[in-house]
Amino acid sequence: MVVLTTNSQTITLSVVPSADAFVIAREPTNNYGGAGASSVSGSAGTNADGQLNGAADSLARFPMSNLVSSADAALGTHDWLVTHATLRVYEMGAPPHPIFSRGVGQFEVRWIVNDSWIEGTGIPSMPTQDGVSWKDLSLILEPSIDQTLGFFTNTGADGPLSFDLALIPALVSDIRSGTEVGMYFTAASPEIGFTFDSRTFVVPSEQPRLEITAASQPIVRIDSIKLTNANFVSIGFNTLSNWNYTLQAANGTNGLVSDSWVNLLTVVGQTSTGHVEYVDGLTNGQRAYRLNLTPSFPATF
């Protein structure tokens, strides 16, 4: 695991897979878990010689235990929200082995519930039967439970690619639980031939990484309500950056709110923490105040 950036309110961490492998439809019993590359190929995928390779899919698992420990240490024990998830891979535009297809197209990344598959040790020149293969997909995939994390397009050239993943509740739950995040890569275009370096690739900087950003979860409260003179009330609260704070008020009777809540002040997400004092005109009746928070980033609760 790599800590990319951190401050008092956010932390970004990156992990490589604990296992990954690709599987091929035309070789349904062969395993390629030690290949040093992953592959996504459509039904019409062809290699550099124009030979039809057909469909290939990939699987990966990312361990979350160390990531959770680091986020807890930096932001407070589970007192944080997942705000961003990015998958980073390194594409191989011209893979040397004919088992890999070439071509630009669209593919899907899915979160999968089943993380029990075995990576295996097979390589293109020497496949094995000691790990996951195409025939196992029907047992691994659960279409009624597995969920899409997005559709993306490769470039067909050597270089790094980044894909922002949808923060579905199942993904966030896996991240925060400290277990493993399982992913399945499959073609959405018949002509795609997408090869990217796997966790066993010899250059560590080109291995896949799941990058997670987490942010502190603020305490929602008004710190002070006090009379400043005979005509005004001062309401104070502390702010945390990247959150929008809305102070609201409503008139009441006999200790109960009787009118609709109205917005008095909105403090838009800031770059630093701070203290806000709002001065409200004093009325002859009873008045209640409350504070609402919304994230100024795409957080998942």
Q: Which of 110, 187, 107, 190 is nearest to 143 (CA)?
A: 110
Domain boundaries in the chain?
2-216, 224-295
Q: How far is CA 62 from the centre of its chain?
A: 11
Average confidence (pLDDT) per 10 residues, the chain, 301 residues? 61 96 98 97 96 97 95 88 94 96 98 97 97 98 97 98 95 94 98 98 96 86 83 86 85 82 86 80 78 70 44
Q: What is the pLDDT of residues 19-50, one digit of tens each?
A: 999 999 999 999 999 999 999 999 999 999 99
Under 8 Å CB-to-CB from 58, ≥6 apart: which residues?
A: 20, 21, 22, 23, 38, 39, 40, 184, 185
Distance between the two ends of the chain, CA-based, in angstroms?
Answer: 24
Domain at 224-295, CATH class: mainly beta
Q: What is the pLDDT of residue 301?
A: 44
Q: What is the pLDDT of residues 52-77, one digit of tens each?
A: 999 999 999 999 999 999 999 998 88
Q: What is the pLDDT of residue 254?
A: 79
Q: What is the pLDDT of residue 44?
A: 97
Q: What is the pLDDT of residue 298?
A: 57
0.85 surpassed by pTM: no
Q: What is the pLDDT of residue 255?
A: 75
